[in-house]
A and B are shown apart, each in its own frame.
Chain A
Amino acid sequence: MRVMAQIAMVMNLDKCIGCHTCSVTCKQTWTNRSGMEYVWFNNVETRPGQGYPRRWADQEQWKGGWKLDRRGRLRLRQGGRLRKLAEIFANPVLPTVHDYYEPWTYDYANLHEAPLGDDYPGARPRSLLSGRPMEIEWSANWDDNLGGATELGPQDPVIQKIREQVGEKVRFAFEQAYMFYLPRICEHCLNPACVAACPSGAIYKRVEDGIVLVDQDQCRGWRQCVTGCPYKKIYFNHRTGKAEKCTFCYPRVEVGLPTVCSETCVGRLRYLGVMLYDADRVTEAASVADDKDLYEAQLGVFLDPHDPAVRQAAARDGVPHDWIEAALRSPVHALISTYRVALPLHPEYRTMPMVWYIPPLSPIVEAVAETGFDGEDADVLFGAIDTLRIPVEYLAELFSAGDPLPVQMSLAKLAAMRHHMRAINVGDPVDEDVASAVDLTAQQIQDMYHLLAIAKYEDRYVIPTAAAGDARRLEESVMPNECSVGVVEGEPGPLGDDSGRRNLPMVSLETFHLTRKRQTADREEEL
């Protein structure tokens, strides 16, 4: 056993309202540059829908991720090492900018410079690639909220797959009943195919926190990673000729701050925390024969920090003490392993993704309520989850390689939670059988409710800092003992209140945490 730690994310899709705040703030932070116009490290897709880039989930077309060869060994779907090198001069399955969209600006100067005339001057769209006037025909969320679904919906690869199995009639009934949002970032996988595909060895998984990064100096622009990543979350910067990807906001995470997408999420639906896993078992788990076993296999790779033997092994393998402590309180571990309500996105790609999702129950509750039944009654809901077969099948294609059982279990737990909490709130007797029917205790259901519904900032984000072991030394290096200024607790130190410096905010960690507490506390006595 070789214990490694990773900062992972869980998103609660029930709460996503599709506002794109995460996408916009991420873009402002990371990709508002020339060459990156079309790049969305974070994007929000409406499902059913094609996603971004178009039809990314169709691996028959894009050849992303891993597959098993005839002898049952993992290999990249695009081909082996020799094949990849032979194809290096023109990657045969690279999405072009038209699979994303052609970035554009507007001819704003015309508004100022047009000669005086009878007509109002206009600002025509102009391509940022060719510099010529263009028609805007597509963008990152063109099919938002099922826009154009009658025409575009059937092109959703998941819909296509389900229609093959269930038949033509699915589509319209489906669209009337169901729509949800899927925010996506890089999965920071345990078995990342982009890393494996990079000929230069420029992409790496960070040992300390599992974040997958591209070394911009070592990248030589071979573009194999774009194909390798089945989630199409590596983008080619067409100005610099280098690959870029979601960084999990590592400069923020290193100092204990949540990622920008999490911090600015209006629905407070993102959770960040430490997962401990056994690095020795990753390849074995990614190689299980049946796609449908991959979810359970990945659960088997995760280690329980509540087990003293695991904690001991983690310390032996160099996981810092505060990371082990954080793993104990990790909301992500609770949602993934303890309550088992979170599921991985497309486990069948065999990359062992580390951004997991709680499937949405709300559309089902809505659908039940519309029929005149009580949308929060456990019996009705349990029945509805099974009878609304199509959404479950759709969700199963996304989150469990087509196996409906994990999705049904997860939705049943959410339904049980609603029923249980309503009983408490309206003063009904609590029926313990509902909890035990979904393998949880009443206490667990209440804890889960606290995490999912109350969702306090401190509970959603449990992020150990990168330099915590070094904190004392770092502090001393910026504030030597002989410093005459002195620091009064709660007052701004000699370095000020926030990160007004060019590099990492080197504020005293104590001041930092005090400030944060002041900014996030709800009541005065918490200070």
Chain B
Amino acid sequence: MNTFLWGGLPYLVLGILVTGLIWRFRYDQFGWTTRSSESYERRILHIASPLFHYGILAVLAGHIIGIFIPASWTDAAGVSDKTYHLFSLIAGTAAGILAIVGIVGLVYRRRRYAPVFRATTKNDKFMYVFLVGNIALGLWAKLSHADYDYRSTIGPWARSLFVLQPDVELMTNVPTAFQIHALIGMALFAILPFTRLVHMFSAPVKYLFRPYIVYRSRDPKQLAEGRTRRGWESVEP
């Protein structure tokens, strides 16, 4: 069981994530959007959305630092374990609270305003359960095990996945809260390509580098008859 959870499942999730993204990119670019509801309601979104997004980006950065920077590196840099964990606790909790406050505001807004609620799909609700649940779980795991040294267990395990030699043993004695958080996190990655969360993969970084005005020639392929793509089907019966 442990071997499957911590040695097999991560690769399965990665596989689903990658093939899911490729599938979505090839067959459903038309559905690849933020599906913004800002035009329905602006007041709460203006506060809650940046709170959540900046919070979750900070959380992501924290995970990357925690998992991919080995303890030996920070030691070498002269950062004591105590300082590191204090920083991790304060910054991590702050980021987590930002994200939680933001997403609670967003979910409240979604329920409270009829147009936004009507634009919420089953897929969205399903995704929200995982997203909200996992942020809460992560924060709970962090706060209930404030002095837990994840850098000697979870970190090395996560790194071992990337060198294709998963060290399953490292995860067996990790507190349950962290285990559940990791499992639901993997579930979140697995459903990611099939939900609106895909918009995170189109973060428009290249906007910083392209010229302002975009010119494009008519695509000769689009002049001739081609296969109808999603969203372009004839509306005639």
Residues of A within 8 A of B (CB): 81-82, 84-85, 88-92, 94-97, 127, 129-132, 191-192, 195-196, 198-201, 203-208, 216-223, 236, 238-242, 466-467, 502-504
Closest CB in chain A relative to B44 CB, distance in Å: 10
Is B73 close to A, CB under 8 A?
Answer: no
A204-B215, A466-B218, A503-B225 as given contacts; A222 in contact with B39, CB under 8 Å: no
A81-B208, A199-B204 as given contacts; A502 in contact with B234, CB under 8 Å: yes
Is B208 in contact with A205, judged by CB distance below 8 angstroms? no
Is A208 in contact with B217, judged by CB distance below 8 angstroms? yes
Residue pairs across A and B with Cβ atoms less than 8 A apart, 16 shown, are A95-B39, A97-B39, A97-B115, A129-B118, A130-B115, A207-B215, A208-B217, A217-B32, A219-B33, A220-B34, A220-B202, A221-B36, A222-B34, A240-B30, A467-B223, A502-B234
Is B34 in contact with A203, judged by CB distance below 8 angstroms? no
Is B49 in contact with A203, judged by CB distance below 8 angstroms? no
- Chain B residues numbered 24-47 whose CB sits less than 8 Å from any CB in chain A: 29-30, 32-42, 45-46
Tell me which of A96, A200, A220 contacts B41 (CB under 8 A). A96
Residues of A within 8 A of B49 (CB): 89-90
- Chain B residues numbered 88-141 whose CB sits less than 8 Å from any CB in chain A: 113-115, 118-119
Is B54 close to A, CB under 8 A?
Answer: yes
Is B229 close to A, CB under 8 A?
Answer: yes
Residues of B within 8 A of A82 (CB): 208
CA distance A242 to B231 in the complex (A): 11
Closest CB in chain A relative to B174 CB, distance in Å: 33
Q: A204-B214, A221-B36 are in contact. List 14 more A-B contacts (CB 8 A).
A: A94-B39, A96-B38, A96-B39, A96-B41, A97-B115, A130-B114, A130-B118, A195-B213, A198-B214, A199-B207, A201-B204, A205-B216, A222-B204, A241-B36
CA distance A88 to B36 in the complex (A): 11
Is B204 in contact with A223, judged by CB distance below 8 angstroms? no
CA distance A195 to B42 in the complex (A): 24
Tell me which of B46, B204, B208 contacts A90 (CB under 8 A). B46
Is B214 in contact with A220, judged by CB distance below 8 angstroms? no
CA distance A196 to B231 in the complex (A): 26
A200-B202, A203-B214, A467-B223 as given contacts; A238 in contact with B114, CB under 8 Å: no
Tell me which of B42, B213, B231 contacts A192 (CB under 8 A). B213
Residues of A within 8 A of B40 (CB): 96-97, 129, 238
A206-B218, A217-B29 as given contacts; A223 in contact with B208, CB under 8 Å: no
CA distance A503 to B32 in the complex (A): 25
Tell me which of B29, B53, B119, B216 contacts A89 (CB under 8 A). B53
Is B212 close to A, CB under 8 A?
Answer: yes
Q: Which of A89, A192, A242 has the most CB of B within 10 A?
A: A89
Is B151 close to A, CB under 8 A?
Answer: no
Is B221 close to A, CB under 8 A?
Answer: no
Residue of B nearest to A190 (CB): B213
Is A196 in contact with B114, judged by CB distance below 8 angstroms? no
CA distance A198 to B213 in the complex (A): 10
Residues of B within 8 A of A220 (CB): 32-34, 199, 202, 204
CA distance A130 to B40 in the complex (A): 10
Is B114 in contact with A205, judged by CB distance below 8 angstroms? no
Residues of A within 8 A of B214 (CB): 195, 198, 201, 203-205
Is B46 in contact with A85, judged by CB distance below 8 angstroms? no
Residues of B within 8 A of A241 (CB): 33-36
Is B82 close to A, CB under 8 A?
Answer: no
CA distance A217 to B46 in the complex (A): 27
- Chain B residues numbered 1-60 whose CB sits less than 8 Å from any CB in chain A: 29-30, 32-42, 45-46, 49-50, 52-54
Query: What's the dominant secondary structure at chain B's contact region?
Result: loop
CA distance A91 to B45 in the complex (A): 10
Residues of A within 8 A of B118 (CB): 129-131
Tell me which of B114, B199, B223 contacts A221 (CB under 8 A). B199
Residues of B within 8 A of A195 (CB): 212-214
CA distance A427 to B113 in the complex (A): 70
Is A204 in contact with B216, judged by CB distance below 8 angstroms? yes
Tell me which of B34, B37, B46, B119 contacts A92 (CB under 8 A). B46
Residues of A within 8 A of B115 (CB): 97, 127, 129-130
Residues of A within 8 A of B204 (CB): 85, 88, 199-201, 220, 222
CA distance A319 to B90 in the complex (A): 63
Residues of A within 8 A of B36 (CB): 221-223, 236, 241
Is B33 in contact with A131, judged by CB distance below 8 angstroms? no
Residues of A within 8 A of B210 (CB): 201
Residue of A nearest to B216 (CB): A204
Residues of B within 8 A of A466 (CB): 218, 223
Residues of A within 8 A of B223 (CB): 466-467, 504
Is B215 in contact with A90, judged by CB distance below 8 angstroms? no
Is A196 in contact with B234, judged by CB distance below 8 angstroms? no
Is B208 in contact with A89, judged by CB distance below 8 angstroms? no
Tell me which of A85, A132, A217, A236 contacts B208 (CB under 8 A). A85
Is B50 in contact with A90, judged by CB distance below 8 angstroms? yes
CA distance A466 to B223 in the complex (A): 10
Residue of A nearest to B50 (CB): A89
A81-B207, A96-B39, A240-B231 as given contacts; A206 in contact with B216, CB under 8 Å: yes
- Chain B residues numbered 180-237 whose CB sits less than 8 Å from any CB in chain A: 199, 202, 204, 206-208, 210, 212-218, 223, 225, 229, 231, 234
Residue of B nearest to A128 (CB): B115
CA distance A377 to B55 in the complex (A): 71
Closest CB in chain B relative to A156 CB, distance in Å: 24
Closest CB in chain A relative to B107 CB, distance in Å: 16
Tell me which of A89, A203, A217 contacts B54 (CB under 8 A). A89
Residues of B within 8 A of A239 (CB): 119
Residues of B within 8 A of A127 (CB): 114-115
Is B38 in contact with A132, judged by CB distance below 8 angstroms? no
Is A238 in contact with B206, judged by CB distance below 8 angstroms? no
Is A221 in contact with B218, judged by CB distance below 8 angstroms? no
Residue of A nearest to B217 (CB): A207
Q: Which of B34, B36, B37, B40 has the most CB of A within 10 A?
A: B36
Closest CB in chain B relative to A277 CB, distance in Å: 13
A89-B49, A218-B29, A221-B199 as given contacts; A207 in contact with B213, CB under 8 Å: no
Closest CB in chain A relative to B227 CB, distance in Å: 12
